């Protein structure tokens, strides 16, 4: 007995099939055996072999209006193509229907039972395996052949009751094919709906995780950075005997903390709304590098920038990635090679932007486990998202080099890249 859980797991097509009466279910299963995946042709080949053998045997015995030299080849044409109906549906169905139409019009009494079965199978396969237009053409031409039979062409005498039965058989076979096509379409739509539901569930889980990360960043990191900004801004007023250099240093710390808070708010906005653009807080671009270098230089780092090629507007994802590469390289240089000379080189190529930041002496290894030492790993991932190349390591002059090559497409920047 089927329990409630297994009944819930059954699709609409399965429940409908369970309510189908046995003749319809038998026809549907036979048709499904013929029209299934052509890479497993056992069913059609076996059916074609049995029907072809029957057509040959019956065609040689029946003394009808068509001689056996004609009846046997027509019987083979009506049955044997079923073996390749999955791979060549149009040719196989057309051959079977044409041969059967010849039997109906010119020699109905020579039409074997095997050929009739092949005719019905081909008719039922029309709506399943052919395009709508070709399937309708096939059934219309088949009905036309059936209606021509009573005219007695070539001495073929067909009573009206037989013609009526054949016409109804065409409609019944077509209906069986339509039923199977509708079942398959329903199964496909059911699977697509299930996949869409799974995708939405995964997106909901990801959104919850991103919201949780954003909440932690806001409650922990943003709080501490805010406190740094407040304390740095109020220190010159609390320490009355602070020299001018110290006051400038505290002012710079407060400014950097406020900048960090602004960028953190951008990151929080992206985490909370990954599909929305953050137009109110635009992402930094190459034009903002001058301001970045000025802040770094004011902290005591000797940094210069050199550009080669013809500067031009680039996709936002490329410009943002360039800014982050330079920013992280300068941060590492200040942390591990304080007081060294840093050279930032940007090369505008036809199809790429090259970036090279070299410091005066060797910095920490690429993946060194220092506090905050995941910056270069993040840069490598960011560059890889743009299908670019990234390298970071010591150079031949006891220095440290961070280099990247970012492909530049002719199309506009993608939204994903803008939010990276």
Query: Which pLDDT belongs to residue 403?
Result: 94
Predicted confidence (pLDDT) per residue in 67-103, tens digit: 878 888 888 888 888 888 888 888 988 888 888 888 8
Tell me the pLDDT band of 110, cut-offs 50, 70 and 90. confident
pLDDT band, very low/low/confident/very high, at 330 (cuts 50, 70, 90)? confident
Lowest-confidence pick of 231-240, 301-310, 365-374: 365-374
Would you kindly state where each structural domain of the chain is located, as residue ranges?
A: 10-197, 202-272, 286-418
* pLDDT band per the 50, 70, 90 thresholds, residue 40: low
Calculate mean pLDDT across residues 180-184.
Answer: 81
Averaged over 406-416, what is the pLDDT?
A: 58
* pLDDT for residue 13: 42
| Mean pLDDT calculated for residue range 338-344 | 83
Q: What is the pLDDT of residue 278?
A: 45
8 versus 47: which is more confidently predicted? 47
The pLDDT assigned to 28 comes to 60
Which percentage of the chain shows pLDDT scores above 90? 9
Q: What percentage of residues in the chain have a pLDDT greater than 70?
A: 74
Q: What is the pTM of this model?
A: 0.41
Q: What is the pLDDT of residue 297?
A: 83
Q: How far is CA 273 from CA 29, 207, 310, in A?
A: 50, 8, 36
Range scoring the smallest mean pLDDT among 48-57, 361-370, 393-402? 361-370
Look at residue 274 in the predicted model and tell me its pLDDT. 55
Top CATH class, 286-418 = alpha beta
Over the stretch 112-162, which tens digit does the pLDDT of each residue have? 888 888 888 888 888 888 888 888 888 888 888 887 777 766 555 666 677
What average pLDDT does the segment 47-59 reach? Answer: 84
């Amino acid at each position: 007995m089927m329990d409630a859980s297994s009944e819930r797991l059954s699709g609409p097509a399965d429940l409908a099939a369970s309510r189908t009466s046995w003749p319809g279910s038998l026809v549907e299963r036979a048709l499904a055996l013929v029209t299934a995946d052509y890479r497993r042709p056992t069913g059609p080949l076996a059916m074609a072999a049995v029907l072809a053998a029957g057509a040959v045997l019956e065609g040689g015995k029946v003394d009808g209006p068509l001689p056996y030299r004609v009846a046997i080849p027509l019987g083979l044409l009506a049955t044997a193509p079923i073996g390749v109906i999955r791979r060549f549906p149009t040719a196989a169905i057309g051959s079977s229907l044409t041969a059967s139409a010849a039997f109906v019009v010119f020699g109905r009494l020579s039409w074997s039972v095997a050929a009739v079965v092949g005719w019905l199978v081909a008719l039922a396969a029309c709506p399943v395996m052919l395009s709508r237009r070709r399937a309708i053409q096939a059934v219309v031409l088949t009905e036309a052949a059936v209606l021509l039979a009573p005219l007695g062409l070539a001495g073929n005498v067909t009573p009206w009751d037989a013609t009526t039965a054949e016409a109804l058989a065409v409609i019944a076979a077509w209906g069986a094919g339509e039923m199977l096509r509708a079942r398959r379409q329903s199964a496909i739509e059911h699977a697509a709906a299930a996949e869409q539901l799974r995708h939405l569930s995964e997106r909901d889980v990801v959104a919850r995780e991103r919201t949780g990360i954003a909440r932690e960043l806001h409650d922990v990191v943003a709080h501490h950075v805010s406190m740094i900004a407040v304390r740095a801004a109020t220190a010159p007023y609390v320490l009355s005997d602070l020299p001018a250099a110290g006051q400038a240093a505290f002012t710079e710390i407060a400014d950097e903390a406020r900048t960090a808070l602004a960028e953190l708010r951008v990151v929080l906005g992206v985490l909370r709304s990954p599909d929305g653009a953050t137009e109110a807080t635009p992402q930094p671009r190459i034009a903002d590098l001058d301001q970045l270098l000025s802040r770094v230089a004011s902290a005591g780092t000797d940094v210069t920038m050199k550009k080669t090629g013809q500067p031009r507007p680039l996709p936002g994802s490329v410009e943002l990635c360039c800014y982050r590469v330079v920013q992280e390289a300068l941060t590492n240089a200040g942390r591990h090679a304080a007081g060294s000379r840093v050279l930032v080189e940007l090369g505008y190529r036809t199809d790429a932007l090259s970036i090279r930041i070299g410091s005066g002496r060797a910095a920490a290894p690429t993946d060194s486990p220092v506090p905050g030492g995941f910056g270069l790993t993040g840069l490598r991932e960011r560059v890889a998202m743009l299908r670019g190349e990234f390298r970071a390591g010591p150079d031949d002059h006891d220095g440290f080099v961070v280099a990247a090559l970012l492909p530049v497409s002719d199309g506009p920047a993608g939204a994903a890249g803008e939010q990276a």
